[in-house]
Structure 1
Amino acid sequence: MSYLKFKKIIMSLPGPLPTVFDQVDKNKTKFIEVLREAVAIKSISTDVTCRDECTKMVLWTKKKLEALGATVELKNIGTHVIDGKTYPLPDVIVGYLGNDPKKKTTCIYGHLDVQPANLSDGWLTEPFELVEKDGKLFGRGSTDDKGPVLCWLHAIESYQNCGIDIPVNIKFVFEAMEESGSEGLDELLYDVLKPSGFFNDVDFVCISDNYWLGTTKPCITYGLRGMCYFFVEVECAAQDLHSGVMGGTVHESMADVVYLLNSLVDKDGKIIITNLYKEVAPIFDGEKEMYENIEFDPIEYKKSLGAHGLAHNGDKIQLLMYRWRYPSLSIHGIQGAVWEPGTKTVIPGKVIGKFSIRIVPDQEPEVIGKYVVDYLNAKWAERGSPNRMKAHMVHSGRPWTADPKHEHYAAAARATKHVFKIEPDMCREGGSIPVTISLQEASGKNVMLLPVGAGDDMAHSQNEKINVKNYIEGTKLLAAYLYEVGLLK
């Protein structure tokens, strides 16, 4: 791009954004180095041996916020028990920057913990050493969620470095247990922060903990599926048996659990469980048109997955609707069965089939749990096996949706256009972020997911990365978001 064209684009931006964006660009190298520091902290919340690292990450972030002038508290959320031992949960950062009653107030949520990662898992680089290659920043937490959290901090810093007043008041809720189910956070939100009035002056809630649908076009997310996870346990004997000695003399547990799992969903992915679709929210006016306009190529999607075929005959609208706004059932495995390579001839004495259902508005976990257990008990009665069977829901999270026509979303769409010069897609996602609905209920305000990372960032997987462009332009996006929200009446 020529200098004159670049200058023309910059000067077309409203208010302070040309100056702020220029400041972001000037600090690109510095911002990458800050991310390098964050990635080096092994804040793996699922590994209790890394609990000190989680605390280190919390304290590191607290220091960064205080350097920006934020008032910060560390909230103790207690302990939890793992394998009979009690461990402290890392503190939650709660704070604010600015308290001007004339300004709007945005509450920002993010998480500082990460998934486990080892070089031996198939990483091409050390996962806790940020490596820049081909315009990509590889490292655990780079996109989930340390990078986006830092984008917020960099956006604030860029305003301050220009001597420009931040357009809104900002409140912060940053935790370090999200990858472990956000243990203790709901109690803090509902029982401490809400009664204390923390959310009283909050106008909007914004979360950057998700990704674009693809790799080129930005989006804004207004819905997530929830999840119900189930175990179905079948026991045929008090111990494993030898198939050559006992085969043919017992009703085998594996045959029973395979029968039950096979009764859940048909070959096209339709869930067979009675009443499962009963509470699914109807399609609202204009919803199908929204799907039609979303940038999504089923052929490229199939290729990116390495899939042999797609459901629903590869129809774009049907694929998106069944990925986001309809429930899906996935069978994940059978505990107790032989999984090692080779030809072991054991009859498992007890096996546990594991499956989950991604639920959608207006489905409630407790209701879905009853449908599933009742259905499996009925199928078990049909089976007529003498074995012991127990079906139960292990854990769950509710679905979330917001109004994509809300002024909050319109402000974010304008912010996106300032940076990327394109109207963002309004999307749902198939995954689950339970804290989203918790923040919506605790605050009583509109909640939005405003992603920074791209759809190929490989969060939770090997070689997690964030593109340098997404990291830097994402910082501009959040700066523009603060500006646009500040204009709302």
Structure 2
Amino acid sequence: MKLLLLPSIQLVISIAHAFQYEELAQYVNNHEEEYMEALRDWVAVESDSSDISKRPDLHRMMELAAEMLRTMGGTVNLVDIGAQELPNGETLAMPKVVTAQFGSDPQKQTVCVYGHLDIQPAKMEDGWATDPYNLTELNGNLYGRGASDNKAPVLAWIHAIKAYRALNMELPVNVKFVLEGMEEVGSNGLDGIILAQHDTFFADVDFIIISDCIWLSRRPALTYGTRGNCYFFAEVEGPKKDLHSGVYGGTIIEPMTDLIGILDTLISPSGKILVPGIREAVAPLSDEEWKKYQDIEFDIDGFKEMIGVSQLMYNNKVDLLAHRWRYPTLSIHGIEGAFSASGSKTVIPAKVTAKFSMRQVPNMDPAMVKKQVTDYLHSVFAKRKSPNKLKVTMLIGAKPWLADTQDPLYEAGKRAIKRVFDVEPDLIREGGTIPVARTFQDVTGKSIIMLPIGDFDAGMHSQNEKISRYNYIEGTKLFIVYLNEVAQIKKQV
């Protein structure tokens, strides 16, 4: 008897049968050293978006990525996003956004891979064991600034596409890339591109994939949520110049004393945010979510050892994960204008600026957080009856992002991880912020997945950032398989 199949079912089966994973995986294994050299070349570029003196390196980084994609046969564009205004009033060109496209078959799904190529600052004197801009392999780990965040994951996606093309295998889906160079400073200019190209570049995109995140443990993971970020400056200004503490101490109300005083009212020793209205805005933790946290693999003792502390804020896994992912936190990052060099200096600074941030969660709104924090600090400052001046500014107001784990994208992710790693993945949230995720969600209305390959101990934003050779290579295989799994999702017409 001849079995008749509907065209859509025939398409799915033909793709499944055509997928030659072993051959593709072997190609990846055979080209490991080539991949190491590519990462070494990228890590060597000091593409620090926060340091304007490094802007030529950042421009070069974007050009390197564009050229790599061109040599693979992609349709590549460098999109101008304009200039940023510097504190002194001058302007500086921002790095262009790289867009690329591989395939345009309307019968196939189209995925858009987002990544960024800018990095956090890094210096040997910060406590690095190796040169942060010279990729160094030790015990199977590849150390270098940007190795995990986000250069290796971007390269892994490129390697995945290249493997298909090198073996003359048809890509199971159309693939687009959006690579930016300003993520570490708030993704300046990117929202404008997404809005402007909503009906052009993004018009045929079915799904968006972000790999700018890490696993929670040694078990592979799929990420379905991130916190937002409201970043503040609180500036207290007093005398017209810095003063000698021996001459003027005890005669003036010092700006630093005022600043430390108001900072102390933001958060309690137990981590409770004291700004009125913040806790009341947080979406309640559901029973289902609580159970999901219980099932996640997480080693509290190993976590403490990794970061070098003897005590955490919470002693059980569920509370710790909940406060890491889905409750707001407030962190004080530094004070500008204060004496911080080595040695001693008896100065009373005339102006000091505190830098702090609040990671926000559903259902918090950045505009409301700005008002709550600003009003609160001014009310606290007023009670001090100080003649000094307080100015509160919110520099970043990124919203949180949350996805539906029942979405077919996540089912495809589970199948891909099972195929490559032979385990079921953890479903996790991320405590950090990736602003573009919420922008993609709001503007395009497309399903988004975060598919990490970074190690749980990657050291992102910290000293000795790294990705393991294992995660880099097996992550490339994961991306290869994931494209095939996405191809089997029924295309919406």
User: Shared topology, TM-score over 0.5?
Assistant: yes
Could you say which residue in structure 1 is the equivalent of 2:388? 387
Determine if the alignment matches structure 1 residue 137 to structure 2 residue 151. Answer: no
> What is the rounded CA distance, in whole Å, between the counterparts of 2:403 and 2:232 in structure 1?
27
TM-score, normalisation: structure 1? 0.92
Cα deviation, residue 342, structure 1: 4.4
Cα deviation, residue 26, structure 1: 1.8
> What is the rounded CA distance, in whole Å, between the counterparts of 1:273 and 1:80 in structure 2?
32
Q: Point out the more displaced range, 419-428 or 348-357.
A: 348-357
Aligned pairs (5 A) from 1:393-412: 393-412=394-413
Contact 2:306 2:457 in 1 (8 A): no
Indicate the SS of the match to 1:99. coil
Could you say which residue in structure 2 is the equivalent of 1:485? 486
Provide the alpha-carbon RMSD of the alignment: 2.1
Pick closer, same or farther for the CA change 1:414–1:375 going to 2, 3 Å: same
Contact 1:199 1:442 in 2 (8 A): no
Could you say which residue in structure 1 is the equivalent of 2:236? 234
> What is the rounded CA distance, in whole Å, between the counterparts of 1:33 and 1:350 in structure 2?
47
Could you say which residue in structure 1 is the equivalent of 2:261? 259
TM-score, normalisation: structure 2? 0.91
Q: Which amino acid aligns with 1:432?
A: T
> What is the rounded CA distance, in whole Å, between the counterparts of 2:258 and 2:54 in structure 1?
40
Cα deviation, residue 273, structure 1: 0.9
Could you say which residue in structure 2 is the equivalent of 1:155? 160
> What is the rounded CA distance, in whole Å, between the counterparts of 1:229 and 1:432 in structure 2?
11
Deviations 1:72-106 (A, max 9, x none): 11211122233343322222111211111111111
> What is the rounded CA distance, in whole Å, between the counterparts of 1:50 and 1:335 in structure 2?
21
Deviations 1:175-212 (A, max 9, x none): 2222232221111111x211x42222211100111111
Q: Which amino acid aligns with 1:257?
A: L
Deviations 1:341-385 (A, max 9, x none): 445333333322322111111111110111111112222233333
> What is the rounded CA distance, in whole Å, between the counterparts of 1:384 and 1:432 in structure 2?
37
Instruction: Specify every segment of 5 or more residues in structure 2 that has no aligned partner in the other structure, as ranges.
Output: 1-16
Indicate the SS of the match to 1:231. strand
Pick closer, same or farther for the CA change 1:270–1:108 going to 2, 3 Å: same
Could you say which residue in structure 1 is the equivalent of 2:45? 41
> What is the rounded CA distance, in whole Å, between the counterparts of 1:261 and 1:396 in structure 2?
20
Pick closer, same or farther for the CA change 1:55–1:386 going to 2, 3 Å: closer
Instruction: Specify every segment of 5 or more residues in structure 1 that has no aligned partner in the other structure, as ranges.
Output: 1-12
Determine if the alignment matches structure 1 residue 203 to structure 2 residue 222. Answer: no
> What is the rounded CA distance, in whole Å, between the counterparts of 1:256 and 1:84 in structure 2?
29
Contact 1:138 1:464 in 2 (8 A): yes
Indicate the SS of the match to 1:374. helix
Could you say which residue in structure 2 is the equivalent of 1:7? none
Q: Which amino acid aligns with 1:160?
A: R
Indicate the SS of the match to 1:380. helix
> What is the rounded CA distance, in whole Å, between the counterparts of 2:249 and 2:46 in structure 1?
49
Contact 1:231 1:394 in 2 (8 A): yes
Determine if the alignment matches structure 1 residue 58 to structure 2 residue 62. Answer: yes
> What is the rounded CA distance, in whole Å, between the counterparts of 1:187 and 1:322 in structure 2?
33
Pick closer, same or farther for the CA change 1:486–1:338 going to 2, 3 Å: same
Contact 1:138 1:463 in 2 (8 A): yes
Could you say which residue in structure 1 is the equivalent of 2:430? 429
Q: Point out the more displaced range, 110-119 or 474-483.
A: 110-119
Cα deviation, residue 130, structure 1: 2.3
Deviations 1:141-196 (A, max 9, x none): 22221111111111112222333221111111112222232221111111x211x4
Could you say which residue in structure 1 is the equivalent of 2:415? 414
> What is the rounded CA distance, in whole Å, between the counterparts of 1:41 and 1:349 in structure 2?
38
Contact 1:223 1:400 in 2 (8 A): yes
Pick closer, same or farther for the CA change 1:413–1:350 going to 2, 3 Å: same
Number of residue-to-residue matches in the alignment: 474
Indicate the SS of the match to 1:461. coil
Pick closer, same or farther for the CA change 1:147–1:240 going to 2, 3 Å: same
Cα deviation, residue 404, structure 1: 1.6
Could you say which residue in structure 2 is the equivalent of 1:89? 94
Q: Point out the more displaced range, 413-422 or 118-127.
A: 118-127
Indicate the SS of the match to 1:93. strand
Q: Point out the more displaced range, 332-341 or 279-288.
A: 332-341
Cα deviation, residue 288, structure 1: 0.7
Aligned pairs (5 A) from 1:200-349: 200-214=203-217, 216-312=218-314, 314-349=315-350
> What is the rounded CA distance, in whole Å, between the counterparts of 1:41 and 1:208 in structure 2?
21
Q: Which amino acid aligns with 2:135?
A: L
Cα deviation, residue 484, structure 1: 0.6
- Percentage of identical aligned residues: 46
Pick closer, same or farther for the CA change 1:43–1:386 going to 2, 3 Å: closer
Aligned pairs (5 A) from 1:113-132: 113-132=118-137
Could you say which residue in structure 1 is the equivalent of 2:27? 23
Cα deviation, residue 442, structure 1: 2.6
Could you say which residue in structure 2 is the equivalent of 1:176? 181
Deviations 1:361-420 (A, max 9, x none): 111111011111111222223333333223332332111111122111111111111111
Q: Which amino acid aligns with 1:248?
A: G
Cα deviation, residue 294, structure 1: 0.9
